Every structure is written in structure tokens, then in C-alpha cells.
Structure 1
Amino acid sequence: MSPQAGRALVLTSNYPRWPGDSTTPFVLALTAHLHSRGWLSHVLAPHAPGAARHEVLDGVPVSRFRYFWPESAETVCYGGGALVNLRKKPSNYFKLPALVAAELAATLRYAVKERVDLIHAHWSVPQGFVATTVARMLGLPSVVTVHGGDVFALGSGVITVFKRLALEKASIVTVNSSATEAAVRSISSRVTDLRRIPMGVDVNTRADPAVVRSIRAAHAAEGPLLVFVGRIVEEKGIFDLVEMMSVLRERQTDARLLLIGEGQDRPLVEERVARAGLGDRVRMTGWVEASVVPSYLAAADIVLAPSRPAPDGWIEAQGLSIIEAMAAAKPVIATRLGGIADSITDGETGVLVAPGEPAQLARAVESLLSDPEHGHRMGLRARATSVDKFSHEVVTDAFTRAYNDAVTAGRRLEGGAR
């Protein structure tokens, strides 16, 4: 471990509830890497039914604060994320004041108890507002990381006020893409230090050759295998993929589609697949362990990521599954939306099509399948991009600088006040 750089309190509403949880672990990965650089972190997250109040994951201690009773009523976060849960069950909005109040009290308590040097919030609301409020009370620097959904959606006047306060009070604000940066600047022009730092991926994962062979034997038949990894929800373009498969069948392209993930729209997808008579061409695995995903990517001929805008304003801010596919040296077909173009250069490191256009997806698939060597070269260039721009090492370097700069600036202000 590096010499201790400082102590950080990390606030997040998205964090694995237990080892092997389906919750995307990107905040855990970043925090663990910062921990290894000497930034000893304590994570504070909302409690969830069945989760431990206190535990250590990947060497990082996490505490989960209660905010509603009984615990079965703690339904704002997890299971697809707060935005999905608010959309599915509007009554969750009535629980937000309790969540914010509990998070505020817990943040103040742990910041004092742990004698932290910095508070880092993931998402501008409510974590960013809570972090900057407590940081100013205690005279601490704060970093607010905006992931996209918190600025693209939740656009009511009151919530926007809290977003603006968080962004303007933070010592440093980080965003994961150019699209997120534009959204932040549209909310406030008074952000003092705004940095574009994407979330990172493990570019050194290895597929298991035996698992890859079994995946292809089970799902690819004799034709090419198309793979999607992500939440099974409309905004991920899942219905466009089903329609794309109908188009490919009409054109007599003998491809198979494998949908990897879980989500609220799975029953609707299954119904649509059955109605279209695509049961022999489209299969769903449900949620799989993160350790197995590299083998599914390695088994793919093409990886698809056809995200589209959601009715509440959400768009794909970065798309970590896209970058994981790039790291696996696979050609990716994605949509020209949000921050995706920050990762993919059309025709060079992947293919971009318009959102909501299954026919365009089908044509792009046929084009790549007709020239496998071109797809191979595209995948190699994509991997090089993922290593250069999105590896955990590169991203951790950028966040380490942000932490150090925030603390240094805070000390200068403290010295000036004296």
C-alpha cells in the first residue's frame, strides 16, 4: 500500500449490498483502488433489506444507515437504482426526506468519528447536497461525482435547486463524459473546478476458454453470436434488439442474440420474443456473476449497446458495459447518444447508429459479419482505447489528483482565513 494520503468518507446510493451482489460495483472498484493509493476510505450507503449494517468489502469498510422502518420498506435504492425505483413506484418519493435526513445525520456522525480529510459524494443528489452541507459545517473539502442520471433526470424545480447547491459548493466536481459535463454546465455556470474523469474498468480480466466454448455450444449454434450485457429495460434499447432480430431473420441472416442481465422489462421482452416467433434466435440468461461476464464477451462475435432516451430524461452518460466489451477487443455497435461517442469513434473503434432504429442495427450487424477481419481490427483498436483512457489505473490517477488538489486547496483557504 502507498503511504497514507488521507482519510475519505465516500457517500453513495449504489454499492454492493453483499459479496456477489448484482449491484454494479463501479463505486466499490474506484474506492478500493483509491484505498490502495493511500486514501483510506469509509463508505456510507443506504441500508437495504438483508444487508449488513457494517462490513468490509474488498478491503474497504462500509456502513449502511437505516432510513425507514420496517427494513422491507427501504425501497428507494438498489434493484436497478433509485431512478428506476422512483419510476416504478412513485410512493418512494415520500421516503426521500427520510433518506436525506438519515444520510445527513450519518454523514456528520461518521465524518467526525473517522476524522476524515475529505468527503466524496457519488451523484449530485442527494449525496452531493449532503456531502457539501456537512463539509462546509466541518470546514472540509468535498468532491462531487456526477454520473449522469442525477442531472439528466430528476428535473423538478426543487430538486434542481439542490443539485445546483451541491455543484456550486463542491471543491471539485467530476463528470464521466462530455454529455454529463454539458448537463452540469446547463444547471450552473458557477462550478469552480469541473473535471471530466470517466469511471474505469478492469482491462486485465481473462475469459475462461472452457466457459467460452460451452457458451458458444449452448447459444451460438452454427451462426454468429450477438451479445448484450446490461439491465433489461426499455431505455437500454432492449425492444429494438428484438425487432432487429426480426429484420435479420427476414434477410436470412442466421445470427443468435444472447441477452445477459436482469430488469423490470424482462417479462415484456419474453412476451415479445414469443409473439415474434424468435424463441430459437433470442435467449436470456438473467443475471450472471461479474466474474463470468468476460467469458460471455469473449464468446461474442459482436456486442450490442443500443441505448435510447428514457421518458424521464435519462440518457446513457457513459456506458461501462460498452467499455468492458472494448477491453475484451470486441467490435461494438452502439447508439449515438449521451457520452457513448466519448468512447467509440464511429468506424474506428466501433459502430454508431441512431437510437431507436432497429433496421440500422441490423444493417450494421450484417456489415460487420460480412467482413470479420475489419471487425477484428476494430476490436483491437477499441481495446487500445480502453487501456489508454478507461483503465482503473488511469482513472484512479485522476481521482487521486482530484482528492489531493481538493485537500491542498482547502488548506490554503484555511491558512488564508487565519
Structure 2
Amino acid sequence: MLIDSTSRLLAEDPLLLAVQSARRLPPGARGRMARAAGAGARPGSLRLALGEFLADRPAQAERALAAAVPRSPAGRRLAAELSVQLGRLHPDAAAQLPPTLRSRDYWSRGQLHDAVAVLDGVPEARARRARLRSQLAVMSPGFTLPRVTRSPRWEEPARSGPTRVLHVLTNSFPHTQSGYAVRSHAVLGAQRAAGIEVRAITRIGYPVTVGLVGAAGTDVVDGIEYRRLLPSRLAPTPAARLVQMARLLAQEVEVFRPHVLHTTTNFQNALVTRAVAESYGLAWVYEMRGVLEQTWVASRPVSQQAQALGSERFRLLRAKETEMALAADAVVVLSQVQLEDLVARGVPAERIRIVPNAVEDAVLEVPAVGAAEARTRLGLPREGFWAGSVSSLVDYEGFDVLLEAVARCRASGVDVRCLLVGDGVSRPGLEARAAELGLGPEVCVLPGRVPQQESLNWYQALDAFCVPRRDTPVCRSVTPIKPFNAMALGREVLVSDLPALREVVARGGGEVFPAEDAAALATALTGAARRSEDSNRVAAPGQNRIRAEACGLPTWSRNGTVYRAMYEELR
């Protein structure tokens, strides 16, 4: 399966394969790979741009690419490949490219029909054209998967006894540590604690398709069973792959005999879950954790985001997500902002439940530790006022704004320092930006991804938890999970002034500042540092639970009862 995926990427998108491989390397190895690509390169050399690209530093790669003057056909092809990957290919230049490259550029910009049409009559692109046509069909209005045939041995779930729910996920612990995986695990744990029998399966091919060749067919984490759909060979097109996934999911249904199927964003999961649920006469729930089309827009270069909002891809994704929400028996969202958006799209409000991100139960019982003491245990300096986050490091999180704010504070004589725990495509760029701002290792720490069971130690090392998200549609709509833990731990919380984040701080308190305004964030950090009488203060035992209850913070145990009531209505 992995060989199939790798061979296809090697043939169609070698640069993407290279950067995906580089992203899975430890930071030191990734840096060495990037340096090797650019070693000995003179100013204006394309190798400098390639090295920055492989190191996941897009801004630096763009600057190096702009200064490069490729002279050979191979060099011009590499420059074009880099331009497509960076989203910086000029339309006039695109017209001169081979059809396969033009197709990738069209697709990346959201011009989906153009991406298919440019491959018409190109013999060497037949397989790619078939895949793109299939993907376009899957995204199109009205597309559904065929129902599966039930086994003669199938028995309907018992009407009495505990509710059984089978969750269909995109990824999960222990192989992925994203906010998505954190919420999935918290939901499953909360439901189990509420008396629901739960089991989870992940999308077809995962985690082998992300490079974990020896992955087991089942993982058990904290007593939660995650089952994998791992065929010996993946179907060649997206539509056929979803049919394949539906058949495998049906086998899991026949073994577990759930009362309800529960899936999460995106629409491909929903297509599979709907087909299987309807085949077995089961209710199904669609949990819309993100806003798929807006997340895609946020991934585009800032200069192209307005164009992306008007693109065919945006329109189709939005329509398809709405179609799935309308088809589900119940819809779960994370915030009032999301609920109002779905109601505006025509989804009946009575079918929507808000189940917000919440405080992890472990946080409520964790022994109280002062920030300075927590830093000492982690080998960090005790002194200073430390602001930061435990998060995926991606561009829309706006952590470059935090770095600039920290530099402003220090320039004005306030000892503010920065700790960003996690990994992601923005990490190399953040490390480079910290160096440019003169934030050395004693005042700016990026330790990378840490084990989930150790994450609370890093929360406690912070004096202030910061969510400096950019003012993008997805950030205005989607609430993060991490600030709730910080609030329960008694840490200051500073967030961008966006609707979804205002909703977060309204639950537990915090301060807002204008999004993408480093000067305003520096002012907020300075005020927080001055309010902090002693960063080594320690709350009394049990204070986290008392604080959460006093502030009305959502908890996963409370969420578990909301899910239980919803399922009882559906079964």
C-alpha cells in the first residue's frame, strides 16, 4: 500500500514527496537535508530555494526562488515545480508549462475542471486525469456511494442495554497528536465514562499511508480501541477507494453491531458513513469540527486567498459539507458560531448540538505546580514571564505575531519569553524568525512535539497561554481545544479578537487583542507580566476543579452526558 502511494507521488509530484518525507524526519535530520541541498550554492542558485523548500521555510524559499536565474531546461523545470508548490506561479508562466504541471497549478488554485481539461489527450497523464476526474465527481453535488450488501448473518443491535457507537475517524492516537486526535480521544473517553460502548475505526489506509509501514491493525490507548482499515492494496481512484472503505466499514458494523455511526469532518468520511448507515438501517451523526473549505483557503498564500474564496473548489467543498449535514440524522458542532453558520445554510437548528471543546478530566486532578517550578523540572530557566502555546505549528495560528510581540516586550525592558510546544510546517520558519528577532535559546524555546502524557507539564511551564490566530474565515469559525486546559490550570489566556475565540474566553475568562497586531499583543503581554506577582505561585490541591466549576468551563464528563442523550434519541 505504501509502495503504491510512494510510486505515484514519485512519478507525479516528486517535490511534494520530498518535502513530505522531510517533514517526518527529526528536526536535526531535516536541517541537514536542507543544508545538503543548498551546500556550496552561490547567490542566485536554485539550490538555495530547493534547500529552503525542503526545510519547510516557504518565505525564505520564495525569496531565494525570486533571486534565482535558472539557465538549463532542467533548472527551469525545477523552478516551475517550486513555483507550483509555493503557490507563486504567474499565470503567464503557467501557459508555457507541460500539461501535468499546469494541471497541478490549476488544482492547487481551485480551478478543478481546468485541471482535468488540460490533461485531455495527454497519454502519459491518463492515470492522473482519471484520479482528478474521480475526485471531482466525489466533490460534486448529489454524489453518493452505493449501498453495501448486508451479510445473511447480520443481526440488528439489541434494543435493550447500553448504547453502542462506532466512530469513523480521519486519524487518531497513538500515531497522530493533533488537536483532532486529542478531541477524538477525549470524546471517546467521555462517552465510555457516560456508559456508552464505543469503538473507533480510522480512514482507509491510515496510518500506513502516512509512512508507518509496520502499523498494527488495532491500537488500544487508555482502553479505547482504534481499529485500522488496511487492505493489501488501495483502489486506484478516490471514488473507488471510498467504496472500498465502505465495504470494510460494513464488516466492522457486522462485528460490533452499533446502534449509531458517528463520523467527523470531512465529507468523504460522511459519504462512507452515510452509505453504510443506510444499508443497515442505522442512525448516523456528522460532527463538523472544522470548516473544510475555509481551512483550504487559509493554506493558500495570502495574496491568493481572495481568489480562493471565489474558486470552484471552495464552492464545491462548501456545498458538499452542507449536503452531508442535511443528510445526517444529527449534527455536532463545536461553537455557537458554527451553529449559526449551518442554520444560515439551511440545516434545521433542532438537529444541531453544540458539544464544545472542554477541559480534560486529568487537568482537573493534576497536582498544582507553579510555572517557575514546572520550568525547572523541564530544564528551562525559572526567571522571566513565559508566554506561548501547546499546539500544531501552522501559519494560521499566527505564532510569528507572538514572536514579534515578545521581541517588542524585551526591547522595552520587560522580561517576556516564549515557549511553543508542538510541530508542524511552520516550525522551521518560526525558528528562523526567532533568530532574526534576536530571540536566543534562553528566551525562545521550540522543543517540538512532546508525548501526550507529558503535555500538561508544558502547559504548567507557561505563565500565559496565547492564541494569536490570524483573521481568516476558518479562525473566525473554529474554536481550539487547548485554551480550556490553560484556563483550568489558572494560566492567563490571551486570544485574538475573533468570534470563535471570544466565545472561548467568554466561558472561562481571558483577554482579547486585535488579530495580527503585534504591538497590541505586546501591550497585553506586558500587562499580564505586571499582574503576575509571582510566577512560582501554587494553587491549593483541588483548585483546578473548583476553578473550572466556578468559571463554568465545559468538561468532558458533562459533554459525555450530552452525547448520551443525543444517541438515546436516535437509537
Same topology, TM > 0.5: yes
Q: Secondary structure at the match of 1:153?
A: helix
Tell me what 1:215 maps to: 375
Question: Quick one: which amino acid aligns to residue 105 of structure 1?
Answer: R
Q: Deviations over 1:35-55 (max 9, x none)?
A: 233321221102213332123
CA 1:32–1:313: 2 relative to 1, 3 Å: closer
Task: Report which stretch shifted further, 54-63 or 166-175.
Answer: 54-63
Q: Deviations over 1:84-112 (max 9, x none)?
A: xxxxxxxxxx9744553333222222223
Among candidates 51, 62, 68, match of residue 226 of structure 2:
62
Question: Quick one: which amino acid aligns to residue 340 of structure 2?
Answer: A
Q: Secondary structure at the match of 2:418?
A: strand
- The answer to whether 1:254 aligns with 2:415 is yes
- How big is the shift at 1:367? 1.3
CA 1:394–1:95: 2 relative to 1, 3 Å: farther
CA 1:246–1:316: 2 relative to 1, 3 Å: farther
CA 1:265–1:124: 2 relative to 1, 3 Å: closer
Give the strand-richer structure, 1 or 2.
1
Tell me what 2:201 maps to: 44
Tell me what 1:142 maps to: 284
Question: Quick one: which amino acid aligns to residue 216 of structure 2?
Answer: A
Among candidates 297, 316, 325, match of residue 158 of structure 1:
316
Question: Quick one: which amino acid aligns to residue 513 of structure 2?
Answer: V
Q: Where in structure 2 are there 5+ consecutive unaligned residues?
A: 1-159, 297-312, 538-542
- How big is the shift at 1:170? 1.2
Tell me what 2:523 maps to: 363
Is contact 1:236-1:308 (8 Å) kept?
yes
Q: Which has the larger radius of gyration?
A: 2
- How big is the shift at 1:124? 4.5
Give the helix-richer structure, 1 or 2.
2
Among candidates 354, 363, 366, match of residue 514 of structure 2:
354
Is contact 1:4-1:37 (8 Å) kept?
no
- TM-score after normalising by structure 2: 0.60
CA 1:28–1:339: 2 relative to 1, 3 Å: same
Question: Quick one: which amino acid aligns to residue 223 of structure 2?
Answer: G
Tell me how far apart the structure 1 counterparts of residues 237 and 391 of structure 2 sit (CA, whole Å).
27
Is contact 1:219-1:225 (8 Å) kept?
no
- How big is the shift at 1:200? 2.8
Tell me what 1:269 maps to: 430
Q: Deviations over 1:265-315 (max 9, x none)?
A: 1111111111121114211111112222222222322111111145x8455
Tell me how far apart the structure 1 counterparts of residues 232 and 365 of structure 2 sit (CA, whole Å).
39
Is contact 1:146-1:174 (8 Å) kept?
yes
- How big is the shift at 1:56? 2.6
Task: Report which stretch shifted further, 61-70 or 290-299.
Answer: 61-70
Tell me what 1:345 maps to: 506
Q: Where in structure 1 are there 5+ consecutive unaligned residues?
A: 75-93, 408-418
Tell me how far apart the structure 1 counterparts of residues 399 and 371 of structure 2 sit (CA, whole Å).
25
CA 1:171–1:299: 2 relative to 1, 3 Å: same
- The answer to whether 1:236 aligns with 2:381 is no
Is contact 2:393-2:427 (8 Å) kept?
yes
Is contact 2:293-2:314 (8 Å) kept?
no
Tell me how far apart the structure 1 counterparts of residues 256 and 551 of structure 2 sit (CA, whole Å).
35
Task: Report which stretch shifted further, 150-159 or 276-285.
Answer: 150-159
Tell me how far apart the structure 1 counterparts of residues 232 and 381 of structure 2 sit (CA, whole Å).
46
Tell me how far apart the structure 2 counterparts of residues 244 and 253 of structure 1 sit (CA, whole Å).
11
Tell me what 1:301 maps to: 463
- How big is the shift at 1:163? 1.6
RMSD between superposed Cα atoms in Å: 3.2
Tell me what 2:253 maps to: 111
Among candidates 146, 160, 164, match of residue 7 of structure 1:
164
Tell me how far apart the structure 1 counterparts of residues 382 and 563 of structure 2 sit (CA, whole Å).
45
Q: Secondary structure at the match of 1:303?
A: strand
Q: Secondary structure at the match of 2:201?
A: strand
Tell me what 1:22 maps to: 177
Is contact 1:329-1:381 (8 Å) kept?
no
Q: Deviations over 1:223-259 (max 9, x none)?
A: 2222321111211111101111121122111111111
Q: Secondary structure at the match of 2:219?
A: strand
Is contact 2:293-2:317 (8 Å) kept?
no
1:127-138 aligned at under 5 Å gives the runs 127-138=269-280
Tell me what 2:453 maps to: 291
CA 1:299–1:54: 2 relative to 1, 3 Å: closer
Q: Deviations over 1:137-173 (max 9, x none)?
A: 2211111111123364356333334322321121111
CA 1:123–1:382: 2 relative to 1, 3 Å: farther
Tell me how far apart the structure 1 counterparts of residues 183 and 295 of structure 2 sit (CA, whole Å).
20
Task: Report which stretch shifted further, 169-178 or 99-108.
Answer: 99-108
Is contact 1:322-1:332 (8 Å) kept?
yes
Tell me what 2:338 maps to: 180
